[in-house]
Structure 1
Amino acid sequence: MSRAWPTRLDFSKSRKVLTIDFDDGQTAELPYQLLRIESPSAEVQGHSPAQKKTVTGKENVGVTAANPVGRYAVQIVFDDGHDSGLFTWDYLRELAGLD
């Protein structure tokens, strides 16, 4: 299967949702809260599944910036200061239940 690439990322401040359109015709809508609590950072995921932390209290978290990382990912900066996770396109598709 060929990798699907994003054609559009739309960060909705009012809805607190990231909408991603992929070149295979699929669309993902990911709430900021989900992105924050499932951040791929070591701070959240740990270095093994047993080390994964449960993050709470992020119902109203916002996004202040999104920085491209090469052609494979985006670094999302949250308004609580968290910015260490690199969200690959594959990981975003996984969070959205695509594929």
Structure 2
Amino acid sequence: MIPINVVVHQQSKVLELTYDNGNTYRLPFELLRVVSPSAEVQGHGPGQETLQTGKREVLIANIEPVGHYALKPSFSDGHDSGLYTWDYLHFLCENHEQIWKEHLEKLAAAGVDRDTPMNVGGHSCGSH
């Protein structure tokens, strides 16, 4: 499903998508950033995901269409490699509460919270 209207709300930090069935969804920038479909976030296979933290204040600096199939947001932290297909965005709209809950559970399991700074420069492997 392709939304008929997409609005970036910088003040409330949400991306608003309206569909032709009348449904409107508001996806927080933080959610969009932490579930970015990019390889940087998702890795290159199962178990390769990089848990995203410290993204509560992230903004969408710019958003542009990619062909007729996706949106490419540029986030204020410099992340801009995620292509959000219309299908993926609709999936997030329909399931955002569950996806957010799972993200918070992953954070808790890792012993970090939403505001923990990311390790800059790669993965922490615990071998210092």
Question: What TM-score results when the alignment is normalised by the length of structure 1?
Answer: 0.91
CA distance in 2 between counterparts of 1:70 and 1:26 reads: 24
What is the RMSD computed on CA atoms of the aligned residues?
1.0
1:58 aligned residue (44, 48, 55)? 55
Structure with the largest fraction of strand: 1
Structure with the largest fraction of helix: 2
Instruction: Note if contact 1:28-1:93 (Cα within 8 Å) is conserved in structure 2.
Output: no
Instruction: Note if contact 1:61-1:78 (Cα within 8 Å) is conserved in structure 2.
Output: yes
How many correspondences in the alignment?
Answer: 95
Question: Structure 2 regions of 5+ residues with no counterpart?
Answer: 96-128
Q: Tell me the secondary structure at the aligned position of residue 4 of structure 2.
A: strand
Misfit runs of 4+, over 4 Å: none
Larger radius of gyration: 2
Q: Tell me the secondary structure at the aligned position of residue 92 of structure 1.
A: helix
2:12 aligned residue (12, 15, 36)? 15
Overall identity of the aligned pairs, in %: 48
Question: Structure 1 regions of 5+ residues with no counterpart?
Answer: none
Question: What TM-score results when the alignment is normalised by the length of structure 2?
Answer: 0.71
CA distance in 2 between counterparts of 1:81 and 1:11 reads: 17
